[in-house]
Amino acid sequence: MAEEKVEKDVALGTSSAVDVETPKHVDPTLEKHAHDADEAMKAFDEMQGEAIELDESTNRRLLRTIDWHLMPIMCCVYGMNYLDKTTLSYASIMGIKEDLNLVGDQYQWLSSLFYFGYLAWEYPTNRLLQRLPLGKYSAFCILMWGLVLSCFAAVKSYSGAIAIRLFLGVFEAAVTPGFALLTSQWYTKREQGSRVNIWFSFNGVGQIVGGLIAYGIAVGTRKHGSSIEPWKIIFLVTGLMTIALGFVFLWIIPDNQLNARWLKKKDRVLAVARVRINQQGIGNKHFKLYQVKEALLDPMTWAFFFYALIADIPNGGITNFFSQLINSFGFTEEESLILGVPGGAVEVIALILNGYIGHITNQRLLCSLGGLVSAFVGMLLIVALPQSNDVGRLIGYYMTQASPTAFVALLSMISSNVAGYTKKTTVAALYLIGYCVGNIIGPQTFRPEDAPRYLPAEIIILVCIGVSLLIMLFIYWWYRKENKRKMEIQSRPDYVRLENQEWLDLTDRENPDFLYAV
């Protein structure tokens, strides 16, 4: 039986700390977690019972500081993450097929091989993200993928290209789960949705920048010539840009609040205190097998997995074939490069709007459905309109670029709704394994014999988007049902709460105080 104590908790939006009474009777199943609690406990132990005060103005000041240090570099790196893995799409109409003697479906396999590397390393990299310093390990992976991409300029054969694409997938596998962990570590649940939408929207910025770079290189080399092939130049440019960003990331991004060089010592503790309401902590290096088992038995884990798998069949196809798809609408190869740019702008606008509306309405899942509906209508236009209607089909392609809103909503749900550090990394790994499998399948739907129309691939994409809509509705229903169940538990007269429960690395299903964001 635990002795009755009084805990000083943080009051967000007030000028002083709030007294929270710790119950006399504590669930013994929770007490076992005290020996391997979250790293945040270290900061509070050092306070030696001193009350922590976090008023509204201080909270806003900290949020501004965190945003200005984390978001710009995360956005830039994520934009390069998209650009680097899709550089092959630009190279496909800049001479790489001819120079590497790619025949049959070898280009399709090069597109998919990136995701084989991603798939093979996804769970190990999630374990390393938990075990190693988060900021330093993420920076190492960024530097390595930039180096690998630069080496693509030296490739002279199909086998060399295979090796590059595999290792590119290995090192890029850390960025999305790493950024999801960083977001859950630094931001409150209410803030997480909009931040994930912002940094993920730089996929679209990457597409814009990539299109402009590829078009500039293609036109410049045609007019003035070049000592090396144009497709090699784009790999060198994007690879070196990534390496430069990797060093900036290493300097700016800390492993957690407690070693952030740009925060004063007191502000480091306050930065931890402001995310206390998440009931998740800021990091735990202990591997907990029971959390892996819980993740595997949680219906939401598999809903996330199957959504990622099915939704990313369209993504894998369109991402690697959008230049050729636009070319098939009747535009020239150079026009196809520049006409891909507005698609990136559509993605940016869709994700920023989705993040903003989801934030003010507190309905992330429902708001994200708008992007899927837009993509469904867009694919319908591509499939139904005659080939002669090149403008209408191009508009349809642009509409499909709003589809990432739902994928990003679920990514933010991993930040907000999955608690327990081992469980979170496990769910993130499975979600991105589904993402990999979908992206492996996607390019294979674009068969060489179907060119230039690619009608079978377009129909498959249409069906996948429809199924994805149904899965999203199921996830929304499930979380609402679980929140009602938890609120009933909290309302029981015999319900008691453990002191510092939010720092004990409990899972979302273990902790009745943990309510799901929707």
Residue spans of the domains in the chain: they are: 56-490
d(CA 4, CA 9): 15
CATH fold for domain 56-490: Growth Hormone; Chain: A; (1.20.1250)
Average pLDDT, the chain: 83
Residue type, 315: N
What's the gap between Cα 497 and its chain centre?
33
d(CA 415, CA 291): 16
d(CA 57, CA 92): 52
pLDDT-derived band of residue 39, with 50, 70 and 90 as boundaries? low
| Residues shown for the chain | 518
Average pLDDT over residues 322-349: 80
Residue 16 has pLDDT above 80, yes or no: no
372: nearest Cα among 399, 412, 349: 399
d(CA 96, CA 86): 14
Average pLDDT over residues 112-117: 86
Q: Is 152 helix (H, G, I), strand (E, B) or coil?
A: helix
Residues 6+ apart with CB under 8 A from 113: 162, 165, 166, 169
Report the pLDDT value the prediction gives residue 275, as an integer from 0 to 100.
83
pLDDT digits (tens, 9 = 90+) for 482-515: 999 989 888 888 777 766 666 677 888 888 888 8
Could you tell me the CA-to-CA distances from 470 to 4, 96, 504 in Å, in that order? 48, 39, 35
Report the pLDDT value the prediction gives residue 220, as an integer from 0 to 100.
81
Residue 48 has pLDDT above 60, yes or no: no
pTM: predicted TM-score of the whole model, two decimal places: 0.79
Residue 324 has pLDDT above 90, yes or no: no
Report the pLDDT value the prediction gives residue 101, as an integer from 0 to 100.
87
Position with higher pLDDT, 381 vs 8: 381
Q: At what angle do helices 455-490 and 404-417 cross, to 10 degrees?
A: 30
Residue 359 has pLDDT above 80, yes or no: yes
pLDDT digits (tens, 9 = 90+) for 282-317: 666 778 889 999 999 999 999 999 999 999 998 877
Residue type, 114: F
Q: Provide the sign of the torsion angle of the four alpha carbons 35, 41, 44, 49, taken in this order.
A: negative
Average pLDDT over residues 15-39: 45
Tokens 């949705």 — which residue?
193
Could you tell me the CA-to-CA distances from 12 to 66, 194, 420, 475 in Å, in that order? 17, 19, 23, 30
Residue type, 306: F
174: nearest Cα among 235, 131, 212: 131
> Helices H, strands E: what count in the chain?
20, 2
Task: For residue 503, give the DSSP letter.
Answer: G
pLDDT-derived band of residue 51, with 50, 70 and 90 as boundaries? low
452 upstream amide cis, omega within 30 of 0: yes
Average pLDDT over residues 275-283: 71
Q: What are phi and psi of 6, to 5 degrees?
A: -120, 125
327: nearest Cα among 92, 83, 103: 92
Average pLDDT over residues 239-243: 94
pLDDT digits (tens, 9 = 90+) for 212-223: 888 888 788 777
